[in-house]
């Protein structure tokens, strides 16, 4: 069944690709009409670009696919709570819904400005929260060792 858990598992696949590349393991997919139209993961190290977050890459890919800068009929699934940059970008895309896995207690948008999302954007938190958090925890543990 194509539900929030299904699509979050797809975002987790992207996060695992990032993990294998030595990128911070955050993955995202954008869904329109129950179909994945964009897949992305963090690429800040690969591209040497601090703005190459999974969400930003996914927004660009989805906009190119649709031929529109607005994603109001789409859902972003992302493994970790978006930062303020990504939440701000989501505002400009007018994305219909954001579903994220684990909270980001240090850099998540809700810690700084919970009103940054577009007023029409629906927000769902905590989908596969533990699986999403575990990948990040593993990544930073491996960096410390």
Would residue 14 show up in a list of annotated catalytic residues for this protein? no
Beta bridge partner(s), residue 15: none
| Block residue for tokens 């964009």 | 38
If 0-12 CB within 10 Å is exposed, 13-18 middle and 19+ buried, where does residue 123 land? middle
Helix-strand-coil split of the chain, %, nearest 5: 45, 20, 35
Catalytic residue among 14, 23, 55, 81: 55
In the chain, what is the straight-line distance between the N-terminal and C-terminal CA atoms, in Å?
40
Overall size of the chain counted in residues: 145
Enumerate the active-site residues: 55
């Amino acid at each position: 069944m194509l539900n929030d858990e299904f699509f979050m598992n797809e975002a987790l696949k992207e996060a695992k690709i990032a993990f294998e590349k030595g990128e911070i393991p955050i993955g995202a997919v954008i869904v329109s009409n129950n179909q994945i139209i964009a897949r992305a993961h963090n690429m800040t190290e690969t591209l040497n670009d601090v703005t190459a977050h999974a969400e930003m890459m996914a927004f660009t890919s989805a906009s190119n696919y649709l031929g529109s800068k607005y994603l109001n009929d789409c859902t972003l699934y992302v493994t970790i709570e978006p930062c303020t940059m990504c939440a701000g970008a989501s505002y400009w895309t007018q994305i219909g819904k954001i579903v994220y896995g684990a909270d980001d207690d240090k850099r998540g948008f809700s810690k700084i400005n919970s009103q940054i999302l577009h007023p029409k954007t629906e927000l769902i938190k905590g989908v596969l929260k533990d699986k999403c958090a575990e990948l990040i925890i593993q990544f930073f543990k491996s960096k410390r060792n």
